[in-house]
Amino acid sequence: MAPALNSHCKAENTSFHAALASAAVIQCRQSVVASSPRGNHDNRKKPKVNPKGAGDHLPVPDLREDPDPEYDPREQDLAERTLRKKLGSLFDPNFMSISSPMLVNLSASDNQVKLQGPMPNEIKKLDLTETPYGKRVKVGKKARRKFLQWLWTYTHCPVVYTWKDLGVRFWPRYIKEGNCFSERSCSFPEGMSCKPVKSINKIFLRWYCQGFLRQKYCTWIQVQYPIISECKCSC
């Protein structure tokens, strides 16, 4: 599908270069991703981090927890050997950590220039020899290559990863969360921004309590936690 500037963005082709650059911006696309989990001691149903059909956007917002420490796991509930066995092969050290990781987070500026994979077809196939008015112009191979490389860099939407502390009621409690680059508009003319289009689910253990006070029963349950894995330029 040939890329086009969505009508909702209301960007006009005011020049030859503006028209070419605008043509490389991907059409608006809506995606339904993730929602925020609720409290962890509802005695009617278990909490879900990523319920089916959720309408909230990623990344998952900070959880609303009951501050009462009575609902926290005790020291004996945090035995690493037991919890590792319970999570098994679902433990992914690339996205989760038991102890506080070194906060070496990739900056957006560094991530922005590291283009990965082949150039998108919607950019590679742009015809730079034809103007919006049908008039043809000559564009050298070197100039074309440099322009397409600039356009790819400008409209690129990297995923920027940072470590987040989920709190003692998750195990492992540290997750490497993805965010879409948001320091500037990704379109030319401006008006569009990087938004998540794909996510992956990682399984964590969640300390879940039923009932209240001395009548409560608590245990570890498995929950899916969605993480942004791909972003695209969109309205």
- How does the average pLDDT of the chain come out, rounded? 75
Q: Please calculate the CA angle 161-162-164 and round it to the nearest 5 degrees.
A: 135
Which pLDDT score, from 0 to 100, does residue 166 have?
A: 95
| Topology of the domain covering 31-112+159-234 | Cystine Knot Cytokines, subunit B (2.10.90)
12-16, 61-65, 86-90, 99-103: least confidently modelled range: 12-16
Res. 139: pLDDT tops 90: no
pTM score, two decimals? 0.65
Which pLDDT score, from 0 to 100, does residue 26 have?
A: 28
Percentage of the chain with pLDDT > 70?
70
- The type of residue at 12 is E
CB neighbours of 192 closer than 8 A, spacing ≥ 6? Answer: 6, 9, 25, 28, 185, 186, 233, 234, 235
Q: pLDDT, tens digit, for every residue of 167-225? A: 999 999 999 999 998 888 998 788 999 999 999 999 999 999 988 777 789 999 999 99
Res. 145: pLDDT tops 90: no
Q: pLDDT, tens digit, for every residue of 22-37? A: 333 322 322 223 333 3
Res. 162: pLDDT tops 90: yes
Average pLDDT over residues 41-70: 62
Which pLDDT score, from 0 to 100, does residue 63 have?
A: 83
Which pLDDT score, from 0 to 100, does residue 29 have?
A: 29
Highest mean pLDDT among 13-17, 118-122, 130-134: 118-122
How confident is residue 105, by pLDDT bands cut at 50, 70 and 90?
low
Q: Kindly list the domain boundaries of the chain, sorted by start residue.
A: 1-30+116-155, 31-112+159-234
Res. 21: pLDDT tops 80: no
What gap in Å lies between CA 232 and CA 21, rounded to an integer? 15
What are the two backbone dihedrals, phi and then psi, of residue 23, each rounded to the nearest 5 degrees?
-65, -20
Res. 12: pLDDT tops 50: no
Average pLDDT over residues 131-154: 84
